[in-house]
Structure 1
Amino acid sequence: MQLDKLFQMQKSLDSYIEGKHQLQNEDLFDRKVLALLVEIGELANETRCFKFWSIKPSSEREVILEEFVDGIHFILSLGIECGFDELPLEVSNIPSLLTITEQFIHIYDRVGIFKKSRELNDFMMVLELYLQLAALLGITYEEMEQAYIQKNEVNYTRQHNNY
């Protein structure tokens, strides 16, 4: 996955949004953490992985992919907040041994740790766990990158239309 390219796209989007809403001098870290947690929850809801009481299947793949990349937007944005977009980041391809439900819980836990530390190793753990979740959901890096680019365009359009 081309993190440099996605970081640049996210940085441009963040700058546009912050300028449009006069947020350049505000600390948005906590709001972005909460937004990420909400997006992770929305993704979990679409997968229905935890809904043991229901036989209804998960949402269509495109819906899950779109929800997934919403999380990528906020992970990248948090990395930018901490200055990690300027570093050469290497993402490991170690597969998860957890179930999808366990992976979601692990991600939530690690987001909380990163929120407190704001350290690179904790950020990388969140990113890697989220990418492991992609693999568990059958999402490839190529699909993820293409969906991110498409959603980034949607986000600009929303801003132009006063979303």
Structure 2
Amino acid sequence: MDLQHLFKIQSIIENSIMQISDIKEDALGKENVFDLRFLALQIKTGEIANLTKCYKYSKEQESIPKDKLFVRYLDAMKFLLSIGNVHEFNIIDKYAIEALEREENIIKLFSSIYDGISNLKEEILQNNYIGALSIYTKLFAKYVNLGEVLGLSFDEVYAYYTKNYMAS
């Protein structure tokens, strides 16, 4: 599993979208594009939480089709990779991700991911690259952890991403 390969795929996807749509990021404004990526990551993360219904007290966990999970999970992953590319966090590797502690409680995991997104945005706005890189690495590890808790191994996610998005 080569994380740099995922970052490259995401870069290719974004460049293709920009060419097809003929929309220039400069026309949207740098601040808007910055906020857009973080908002999209939060929304896509929320869609995963909504799919699991883990936030509902009285709701029993229903079985979620794996292909549906992949789609939602990869939608969020694309924005996480995009942020990594734009802010040059695409230097992380699987060893840094694997070294971080895992969480089994999905509610705590989602909460921690939301906190991580906010903290990452703040560190970037403060131009603290080292702090932001550290937070990004932890956030990426939490997304890997989230996939595992949802029954998606990162090897499966990697294979799915490379197979389905490189073909596009």
TM-score over 0.5 (shorter chain): yes
Q: Which residue of 1 aligns with 2:2?
A: 2
Moved more, 29-38 or 16-25: 16-25
Q: C-alpha displacement at 1:43, in angstroms?
A: 0.5
Distance 1:21 1:38 in 2: 25
Q: C-alpha displacement at 1:153, in angstroms?
A: 5.4
Q: Which residue of 1 aligns with 2:56?
A: 51
Q: Which residue of 1 aligns with 2:17?
A: 17
Change (3 A) 1:63 1:121: same
Distance 2:110 2:164 in 1: 22
Q: C-alpha displacement at 1:49, in angstroms?
A: 1.5
Q: C-alpha displacement at 1:98, in angstroms?
A: 4.2
1:59-81: CA deviations, max 9, x gaps? Answer: 21221121111111010000111
Distance 2:138 2:88 in 1: 16
Q: Is the 8 A contact 1:36 1:74 kept in 2?
A: yes
Distance 1:32 1:108 in 2: 14
Q: Which residue of 2 aligns with 1:70?
A: 75
SS for the counterpart of 1:91 is: helix
| Consecutive unaligned residues in structure 1, runs of 5 or more | 157-163
Q: Which residue of 1 aligns with 2:34?
A: 29
Q: Which residue of 1 aligns with 2:128?
A: none
Q: Which residue of 2 aligns with 1:115?
A: 121
Distance 1:42 1:151 in 2: 20
Q: CA RMSD in A?
A: 2.0
Q: Which residue of 1 aligns with 2:146?
A: 133
Q: Is the 8 A contact 1:69 1:151 kept in 2?
A: no
Distance 1:58 1:91 in 2: 32
Q: With the length of structure 2 as denominator, give the TM-score of the two structures.
A: 0.81
Change (3 A) 1:62 1:95: farther
Q: C-alpha displacement at 1:150, in angstroms?
A: 4.8
Q: With the length of structure 1 as denominator, give the TM-score of the two structures.
A: 0.83
Identical amino acids, percent of aligned pairs: 25
Change (3 A) 1:134 1:10: same
Moved more, 111-120 or 139-148: 139-148
Change (3 A) 1:102 1:58: farther
Q: C-alpha displacement at 1:15, in angstroms?
A: 1.5
Distance 2:53 2:163 in 1: 24
1:96 to 102, 119, 123: 102
Q: Which amino acid aligns with 1:127?
A: F
2:66 to 46, 52, 61: 61
Q: C-alpha displacement at 1:137, in angstroms?
A: 1.4
